[in-house]
Amino acid sequence: MAGDLDAYTSWSPSPNFSSRTRSDDAAIVHTVESDLRDSLAVSLAGPDWFGSTKAGTSPHAIVGPVSRVGTVLRKFKSWAVGSPGNNITYNIEQTGRAAFTRAQWLTTEGLAQISNVALVIADWAKAKGATKPPTRGTRDELRRYANGENVGLRYYGHVDVTDTLGGTTHTDPGDQYPYDVLQAQINLHFGIGPTPTPVQEDDMPLNAADKAWIQTAITNTIRKEAGPAVWRTKLKGGFLNAGAGAALADVFTQVRKLRGQGK
């Protein structure tokens, strides 16, 4: 992952952008204040909202449980957090609401979406030369970065910009957004897995970070099994959603069949 469009499943350009005079070393996580649904991510990226001047706003990308839609190139500033924040940030919208509880974020669709947010953040960081995963920054770090200090690559919530830099009033992605799960997913893209915990009993429940790790591990395994051509044309971004009710063995069977057909 190194290019401007590598992390995106599609591209829907927005006219709402302008030139920047500072590097985007701060990624900002947003919510669009909608239901958590992939179709909304795709439609909001289109001509009825971010793809139109009538919106008057834009992210660099908008993410759903399946889709990762790019809207503004990273070299430009998107219009997402006002001034001075727009000039120094890379902005990622996602479906969902700031009022969501942690449990609402950690549904199957929610975990899939967080995994997509993590992939986009990891791609942004690697494109900027990072060899270690970016972490959630403190508000002091955001303030120092805005004042010209190099604090490294960090990600923040929209609310951190509101409370630190001003120019905006939003409080997304909310107090119960699972940043710990997001961080665990980002770490995976840099080869860092979750810290093992002692098993106390055979039926010990998995936590949210464990479930997200398993989902990513399955994704990577199937991508390897499928091969580049099948993954790119048939499976990328959608096979878990499409086959969520199928046994894993069936998924592998389908992958092998596609690969044997040369599709």
* Cα distance between residue 53 and residue 121, in whole Å: 26
Instruction: Please name the residues in contact with 229: beta carbons below 8 A apart, sequence gap of 6 or more.
Output: 262, 263
Confidence at residue 247, expressed as pLDDT on a 0 to 100 scale? 46
For residue 173, say if its preceding peptide bond is cis, omega within 30 degrees of 0. yes
Instruction: Name residue 1's amino acid.
Output: M
Q: Kindly state the tokens that stand for 6.
A: 């590598």
Q: Where are the alpha helices (DSSP H) in the chain?
A: 38-45, 102-105, 108-127, 139-146, 158-164, 179-188, 208-226, 228-230, 239-242, 248-261
Confidence at residue 193, expressed as pLDDT on a 0 to 100 scale? 84
Across residues 30-54, what is the average pLDDT? 96
- Counting residues of the chain whose pLDDT is more than 90, the rounded percentage is 71
List the beta bridge partners of residue 62. Answer: 69, 93
For residue 47, say if its preceding peptide bond is cis, omega within 30 degrees of 0. no
- For the chain, what is the mean pLDDT? 85
Reported as a pLDDT band with limits 50, 70 and 90, residue 243 is very low
Q: Kindly state the tokens that stand for 125.
A: 């960081």
Reported as a pLDDT band with limits 50, 70 and 90, residue 218 is confident
Q: pLDDT tens for residues 12-27? A: 999 999 999 999 999 9
Confidence at residue 42, expressed as pLDDT on a 0 to 100 scale? 97
pTM for the full predicted model? 0.75
Least confident among 34-43, 199-208, 210-219: 199-208
Reported as a pLDDT band with limits 50, 70 and 90, residue 215 is confident
Across residues 205-219, what is the average pLDDT? 68
Q: pLDDT tens for residues 98-140? A: 999 999 999 999 999 999 999 999 999 999 999 999 999 999 9
CA atoms within 13 A on the CB side of 198: 1
Burial 113-138 (b: 16+ CB within 10 A, else e): bbbbbbbbbbbbbbbeeeeebbebbe
Least confident among 58-72, 97-111, 116-130, 238-252: 238-252
DSSP, collapsed to helix, strand or coil, labels residue 189 as coil
Q: Where are the domains of the chain?
A: 10-188, 208-261
**Long-range contact list for 217-222, CB < 8 A, 24+ apart?**
218/248, 219/115, 222/251, 222/252, 222/255
Residue 163 has pLDDT above 90, yes or no: yes
CATH annotation of 10-188: 3.40.80.10
Q: pLDDT tens for residues 191-202? A: 998 654 444 444
Q: Kindly state the tokens that stand for 204.
A: 């010990």
Of residues 234 and 28, which shows the higher confidence score?
Answer: 28
